[in-house]
Amino acid sequence: MTLLNKKIGVIGGGIGGLASAIAFAKFGSQVTLYEKALVISEVGAGIQISANGINVLTKLGIYPDYLKSVGFPKNIIFKDYKTDKAITEIQHNQDLNLPYMQLHRADLIEALVARAKSLGVNIVLGSKAKVINSGDSGSKIKVNNSEVFDFDLTVAADGMNSTVRQYWFGQRPSVFMKQIAWRALIPSNGMSIEPTVYMGINKHLVMYPLRNGKIINIIGVQSNKNLAPESWTNDGSPEKFYNEFSDFNTSVTNILSDITEVKLWGLYSHPTLKSWSHKNVVLLGDAAHPMLPFMAQGSCMALEDAAVLARVLNKINNIDTALKKYENIRKKRVTAVQKTSIKNGKFFHINNLILRKFFHITMLFITKFHPSFLKSRYNWIYNYKA
């Protein structure tokens, strides 16, 4: 179907929902986006967007015009947690037209909202939405359990705990991976830090600067048997975070001691869904495929989903065929990225001391004698043009 003048409903005003609203509006659709929150705001955290995501942001007209305070790090350093010594350093291919950016999530959301509004997307806040019907001629969205609206197609981008997925796609329960993640931002107060991953035993910690170095973004992940909710907004205890990572070197613990507010969430694996669409409702982003964070690709995958979905729908007349095509293209890729992410998580947390030493020596060896291997290892992810 051509998307011109089609009525598209989008549920969820996160990165995936806003990107798909923009992609559909660019093809001339009349888009209404429902977000349950009263304001579209973002959790206080940094986000890394690799070239594959930047490609979509560029095509959607968001980058560079709408984005501010973006950092383009030259490299990321992997250090031993205890000695603070570098194990390896991976250079980003900024020079090879494969940019890699780090920015505040709120700045990305603000840019997406501004771009969506510029294209006439109707953003309706304070609207908890659900799909109550999906048939051959369209779908119906019920908002705040009262009003019902008709659409040619509904895109459900309502995140990893998607209610649309639970209702329409018979989701099986997710499984706690016995890993928890801590996330905090602190003012840098003039301290300059480089993007660094500290590799510990059964845990790792990532730090990078945001907003021209004014803020430090901190994420700590550890193996832990105690269940934590799958929610990015769950409060944690700064003292507990400090204690859990107190065996790290003082350049880390000094920074951790400045944290006054921290979020804590559990990492879960979600079973792959049999199908991402039902008649005229389709899942996108974390709603379709929640990602583990070890490749920093969840948002990039949602951006790619948005670009591919709008494109195939605009090109292929039969909606079932178009939605199947979207799913075929995207499922293969997100599954491969997800597998890479799981592997990465294992490398970050090796607890066998001999294996750990061997891994670090191998990394040092590769860095010294075959640096291009590390630089290009993920090019199949970053080079992709959705």
Residues that bind ligand FAD (CB under 6 A): 11-17, 34-37, 45, 47-48, 127-130, 157-159, 163, 183, 219, 232, 285-287, 291, 293, 296-300, 302
Residue 20 structure tokens:
């798909």
Cβ proximity to ligand FAD, 150 vs 320, nearer residue: 150
| Min dist. Cβ of residue 128 to ligand FAD (A) | 5
DSSP characters for 17-62?
HHHHHHHHHHTT-EEEEE-SSSS----S-EEEE-HHHHHHHHHTT-
Residue 127 structure tokens:
């609207």
Q: Can you give the three-state secondary structure of 307-356, one letter per residue?
A: HHHHHHHHHCCCHHHHHHHHHHHHHHHHHHHHHHHHHHHHHHCCCCHHHH
- Look up residue 222 and give its amino acid: Q
Sole residue written with tokens 């959301």: 109
Residue 174 structure tokens:
């997710």
| Min dist. Cβ of residue 229 to ligand FAD (A) | 12
Task: Characterize 75-97 residue by residue with b for buried, 16 or more Cβ atoms within 10 angstroms of its Cβ, and e for exposed.
Answer: ebebbbbeeeeebbbbbbbeeee
Cβ proximity to ligand FAD, 141 vs 356, nearer residue: 141
Cβ proximity to ligand FAD, 7 vs 142, nearer residue: 142
Phi and psi at 46, nearest 5°, equal -90, 165
Cβ proximity to ligand FAD, 45 vs 177, nearer residue: 45
Cβ proximity to ligand FAD, 14 vs 71, nearer residue: 14
Task: Characterize 251-263 residue by residue with b for buried, 16 or more Cβ atoms within 10 angstroms of its Cβ, and e for exposed.
Answer: ebeebbebbeebb
| Min dist. Cβ of residue 362 to ligand FAD (A) | 26
Cβ proximity to ligand FAD, 235 vs 320, nearer residue: 235
| Min dist. Cβ of residue 354 to ligand FAD (A) | 32
| Min dist. Cβ of residue 265 to ligand FAD (A) | 7
| Interacting residues of 290 by C-beta distance below 8 A, sequence separation 6+ | 160, 174, 268, 270, 298
Phi and psi at 221, nearest 5°, equal -125, 135
| Min dist. Cβ of residue 281 to ligand FAD (A) | 13
Residue 368: Cβ within 10 Å count: 9
Cβ proximity to ligand FAD, 340 vs 367, nearer residue: 340
| Min dist. Cβ of residue 268 to ligand FAD (A) | 12
| Min dist. Cβ of residue 1 to ligand FAD (A) | 24
The helix, strand and coil proportions of the chain, stated in percent and rounded to the nearest 5, come to: 35, 25, 35
| Interacting residues of 351 by C-beta distance below 8 A, sequence separation 6+ | 201, 202
Cβ proximity to ligand FAD, 7 vs 36, nearer residue: 36
| Min dist. Cβ of residue 98 to ligand FAD (A) | 15
Instruction: State whether the Cα torsion 330-336-338-341 is positive or negative.
Output: negative
Cβ proximity to ligand FAD, 231 vs 249, nearer residue: 231
